[in-house]
Chains A and B, each alone.
Chain A
Amino acid sequence: AQTVTQSQPEMSVQEAETVTLSCTYDTSESDYYLFWYKQPPSRQMILVIRQEAYKQQNATENRFSVNFQKAAKSFSLKISDSQLGDAAMYFCAYRIRDDKIIFGKGTRLHILP
């Protein structure tokens, strides 16, 4: 069964610094998709970044980038120049086509002013 593990329940980072959130997953599939979602206190789930497993190039979206290590089944999120608005719960997620999304338990990120 596919699983997604986020080993850091909480993290803190100083404003303007860089932070990396860890995610590992377990699968026997070769073609799948990985996501990071952000859930601020307003509770809306917001897509931060997506990665297709067949693409070797790491996805980037402005200050957000991933380090996708397919062999190691690792998918970490790097947030550069952290801002107060980045404070949220971050969920790593995995999906194969036509199946449900599997979410990790989340990492709560605090931004220290």
Chain B
Amino acid sequence: SAVISQKPSRDICQRGTSLTIQCQVDSQVTMMFWYRQQPGQSLTLIATANQGSEATYESGFVIDKFPISRPNLTFSTLTVSNMSPEDSSIYLCSVEARLYQETQYFGPGTRLLVL
């Protein structure tokens, strides 16, 4: 399985500010995914990021609020913009497995608290 790291692991932010979360993979992958997990809830897909193209956003998520970059095959960033307390969540990135591409492996997550 891929080794995935995320930075920061946690942060406390003020309302109205923005935070950029980084996701680094130890091998080249085609598809990277960003999820949000609100407190006590399941995972919700925010967007799919392919290298060299615009991210594809799920219903309810927009690029202005969650801009994503994918500059190469091992790295992606998710920015949470103009944050409000409702953005307090765990944000996870994931990648498809090389051998079984229907399987996803997840990073350790970023716990965000917005005051």
Residues of A within 8 A of B (CB): 33, 35, 37, 42-47, 50, 91, 95, 97, 100-101, 103-106
Asked whether A45 lies within 8 Å of B103 as measured between CB atoms, the reply is no
Cα–Cα distance between A103 and B41 once the two chains are bound (Å): 10
Residue of B42, B106, B108 most packed against chain A (CB within 10 A): B42
CB distance from A57 to the nearest CB of B (A): 16
Cα–Cα distance between A37 and B45 once the two chains are bound (Å): 16
Cα–Cα distance between A64 and B45 once the two chains are bound (Å): 27
- Does B58 make an interface contact (CB < 8 A)? yes
Residues of B within 8 A of A (CB): 1, 33, 41-43, 45, 48, 58, 90, 92, 94, 100-109, 111
Asked whether A45 lies within 8 Å of B106 as measured between CB atoms, the reply is yes
Cα–Cα distance between A43 and B37 once the two chains are bound (Å): 10
Asked whether B43 lies within 8 Å of A103 as measured between CB atoms, the reply is yes
Pairs of residues from A and B, 10 with the lowest C-beta to C-beta distance, nearest first: A45-B106, A44-B108, A33-B102, A43-B109, A103-B42, A103-B43, A105-B42, A100-B45, A95-B102, A50-B103
Listed by A's residue number, 28 A-B pairs whose Cβ atoms lie within 8 Å are A33-B102, A35-B103, A37-B106, A42-B108, A43-B108, A43-B109, A44-B107, A45-B43, A45-B109, A46-B106, A47-B1, A47-B103, A47-B105, A50-B103, A91-B42, A95-B102, A97-B101, A100-B33, A100-B45, A100-B48, A100-B58, A101-B43, A103-B42, A103-B43, A104-B42, A105-B41, A105-B42, A106-B42
